[in-house]
Each structure stands twice: as structure tokens, then as C-alpha cells.
Amino acid sequence: MKKKIIENLKTLIYALILALIIRSFLFQPFYIPSSSMEPNLLVGDRLFVAKYEYGYSRHSFPFSPKFTDKRFVAKNPSRGDVIVFKTPADNRTDYIKRLIGLPGDTIQMRDGDIFLNNKKIKRRSIKITKEINCGKESINVNAFEEILPNGKKYIAVYRDDGTMMNTDVFVVPDDHYFFMGDNRDCSKDSRFLSSVGYVNINNIVGKARIIFFSNDHENGSLMTPWKWHKSIRLNRFFNEIQ
């Protein structure tokens, strides 16, 4: 009996070590808790974030142990990537946003348009059928396909009554990045310098890669299987994140 318990403990320890290695160096699951990235990411989406895309820092590991202030095997992220990072305010809370500004860039919103290095980001108006939310509120929006200078395309939405039409000029410092949510007027991001602001490269956790599960929690949960036909979004399973 004692031998069997020891063998079971060994198996459990090996499993935990393997899970820790996978989570720290390969993939980590994340849950989308807010509407700041609608219509591309919805509340209830669960996704895998690739930890190896940009190298590793202390934030690659559980609980962000303070054993280094450097990044190893570092790779530069690309403009337009959807990235999970630790907020500079507490170096603990995970945010997910789209990378807009690289080190040295200037960013400004003018009359609702984004100017990157004094050039307006190209965009074309599109129609979307999805309901867009801001918290528990459904909002009316104007939707656009935006095209960044590197050719990256994605959908962004703006409230039709415009809540943040103009900003100061943001100048991204060295080794920092500027992020924005795709739900432009329902996102706390780098435009808010006191709470998020510019994000140091060492705060980057990884690149959002794929949605592996999605559940509309307002119509049910995993604990209510009789509502799964209403709550589980099968059409979002294994969608690549653009």
C-alpha cells in the first residue's frame, strides 16, 4: 500500500512538473473577461497564448518570481499582434490588447482617426452583424477594417457617439510598446497613462494564438449542461486569432 501511494505521488509530481514546463515555455490558457477586444474576442472565449513567441521574462512563470529583470531569447513583436501582458500598474494583472505602437513611434487620435507617425492608419468602413457590448451595455458602433503599415488587417469598432475622438500625442519610449483594444471606446489601454500606459517589453507574456473553447456565460455555464445548446459557441472553437 505504501509503495502504491509513493508511486502515485511520483506520477502526480511528474505531471505537475510537465504542466509547469508547458505553461511556462510553450502555451498558457487564458480567459477573456471583458468586452474590450470585441468583435474579435468575446467574453467567455478561452484561448492559448504562445509563450515562446517573444522570448521569456519573469512574467513567463507562475506568480512572476523576481529572479531577473531581463528577457531571454527575446524576439520583437510585430505591429498588429494580439498580446497578453502584465499591466505596468501592478505587474500582476493580465491584459490582452492589440499592439499598435513600437518603440519610437508617435500615436494620436484625431477626430476618431488614429495617426501613426503622423500618417493616418488606413481603414475602410464595413458592416458587422454581431452585437457589440461595453460591459453589460449594448452599444451602437461604426466598424472598420483597419490596415497597419505592415499590412496587418483586423476589425475595430468605435462608438457612433464617439467617446474618445481626440488625444494628446503619445511617444513610445525605448523598450516599450503601445496597445489598444479593438473595441476602441470600451478599452482601458495605453491611452490611459495612469493605469496602463506604455508597456515594457519585459511585461509581455505571449502572443494570443487560438481560441480553443468559448462559452456565453449569460446563457449558461459548464455546470448547467442542459443549457449548453445555448451557451457553448461551437463556431468559435479552434479559430485562429487575427
CATH code, domain carrying 129: 2.10.109.10
Contact 196, 190 (CB under 8 A): yes
Q: What is the DSSP letter of 54?
A: T
How far is Cα 136 from Cα 70, in angstroms, rounded to an integer? 40
* Cβ-based neighbour number of residue 230 at 10 Å: 11
Q: What is the pLDDT of residue 97?
A: 98
Active site residue 138: no
Q: Is the pLDDT of residue 242 over 90?
A: no
Q: What is the DSSP letter of 78?
A: P
Active site residue 36: yes
Catalytic site residue from 86, 97, 187, 231 = 97
Q: How many domains does the chain have?
A: 1
Q: Is the pLDDT of residue 221 over 80?
A: no
Q: What is the pLDDT of residue 226?
A: 77
Q: What is the DSSP letter of 97?
A: E
List pLDDT tens digits, range 165-213. Answer: 889 999 999 999 999 999 999 999 999 998 899 999 999 999 999 999 9
The pTM score is 0.89
CA 51 to chain CA centroid, nearest Å:
13
Q: Is the pLDDT of residue 137 over 80?
A: yes
Strand partners, 133: 138
Q: Kindly report which listed range (93-102, 115-124, 227-236) carries the lowest average pLDDT score.
A: 227-236
Position 16 confidence tier, pLDDT thresholds 50, 70, 90 = confident
Its domain, for residue 204, covers: 2-240
CA atoms in the 13 A half-sphere facing the CB of 200? 14
Contact 162, 112 (CB under 8 A): yes
Catalytic site residue from 34, 35, 36, 187 = 36
